[in-house]
Amino acid sequence: MRILAIETSCDETGIAIVEGTKTEGGFAFTVLGSALLSQAALHAPYGGVYPNLAKREHEKNLPILFEKFKDEKVDAIAVTKGPGLEPALWTGITFAQKVAKERGLPLLPTNHMEGHLLSSLVKNGNLEDVKLPVLALLISGGHTEFVLMREWFTYEIVGQTLDDALGEAFDKVARMLALPYPGGPEISRLAEAAREAKQKSDFAPLGSSQRSQNQTSVSLPRPMIGTKDCDVSFSGLKTAVLYALRDRGGIQSLSAEEIAGFAREFEDAATDVLVHKTRRALEESGAQTFVIGGGVAANKHIRKSLEIVVKENFNEVEMRLPELSITGDNAIMIAEAALTRALSGKKDAATDEIRAVGNLSISSLT
């Protein structure tokens, strides 16, 4: 079965064609084509995604991307119905409706978070041999949630952010540190550099100039790290960065090393919280598979730290990490989620109606 999928939930316009077949252990996917246009540079001056600009850009980009695929034969069209920015979602839905009608093809409305989750479970092109229950940590610009999949296509949110999504916190802290949007990759790059520099200085002789740099390093809280649940909160961490910056006379009084030190401590704090809560969620759920997905799942330090905690404490749990090419928003993940459902003969009642739903929850799926 071949599906052409359209993704326009945020600031990436994506179209992809994926072929899927049922195999003994699950599903095999072949990506036949994928095109993605990022609007990040356009939104950068606003420090975040500006919905009406996103809508206009999707409207402009969709026909351009579709040109590449217009002669391909497919069996169905899939489109993201939510969650996301409603004006942006509608552009994709309207476009998909038109294509499906012209070709007499079924239209499959698809949940963006299910796309992140299922595509992250794919290993070497195959969604096979997945041991249930699956615990997924979805970390993106709009979401931060622990999702438990006890059975295929049923999702229970067992923990989530009480305020900011992790990607949003990365982006806001980056902005405070005068780093460009999107801030996640920038913070990660600086944090990495600061970690390397620290390692070097740890081996430098006492009293050397390299050593003294660390004395000004900032220390940030680990919000909710000890609470007896799997919820997280990043708004206080963000505010702590703001105050720490103010205490030091503002960003303009900081050296490049000190800014990198802030980036590192912020990334460390967020990672510590995720590590603790993942441990708890794995213990409480008895999950057999752990997977991470969403834009922030590209973060090297988070990936490595979570791999270590699973390896050291949960011998029987298989960890799956998404390829870096699909952590950010894309249409391949929408095609794969739609294919997994279609090939299972599973149609979601909650997505029957083709309408953009900005706050669509993954737990509403059946």
Count of residues of this chain found to bind ligand KG4 when the rule CB under 6 A is applied: 20
- Taking alpha carbons only, the member of 20, 7, 14 closest to residue 340 is 20
298 binds, among Zn ion, ligand KG4, none (CB under 5 to 8 A by kind): ligand KG4
Compare residues 74 and 93 and give the one whose CB is closer to ligand KG4.
93
Count of residues of this chain found to bind Zn ion when the rule CB under 5 A is applied: 2
First-to-final CA distance of the chain = 22
Please give the Cα distance from 82 to 63 (Å, whole number).
Answer: 21
Under rule CB under 6 A, residue 336 binds ligand KG4:
no
Is the separation of the CB atoms in 298 and 166 below 8 Å? no
**In this chain, which of 20, 115, 294, 322 binds ligand KG4, going by CB under 6 A?**
294
Residue 250 DSSP symbol:
-
Under rule CB under 6 A, residue 20 binds ligand KG4:
no
Report the run of H or E that residue 24 belongs to, with start and end: none
Is the separation of the CB atoms in 251 and 218 below 8 Å? no
Compare residues 54 and 134 and give the one whose CB is closer to ligand KG4.
54
Under rule CB under 6 A, residue 10 binds ligand KG4:
yes
Minimum CB separation of residue 227 from ligand KG4 in Å reads: 23
Compare residues 120 and 340 and give the one whose CB is closer to ligand KG4.
120
Under rule CB under 6 A, residue 147 binds ligand KG4:
no
Please give the Cα distance from 333 to 344 (Å, whole number).
Answer: 17
Under rule CB under 6 A, residue 183 binds ligand KG4:
yes
The values of phi and psi at residue 15, to 5°, are -135, 135
Please state whether beta strands 107-111 and 126-128 pair in parallel, antiparallel, or not at all (unpaired). Answer: unpaired
Under rule CB under 6 A, residue 141 binds ligand KG4:
yes
Residues in the site for ligand KG4, rule: CB under 6 A?
10, 140-142, 167-168, 170-171, 182-185, 188, 294-296, 298-299, 328-329
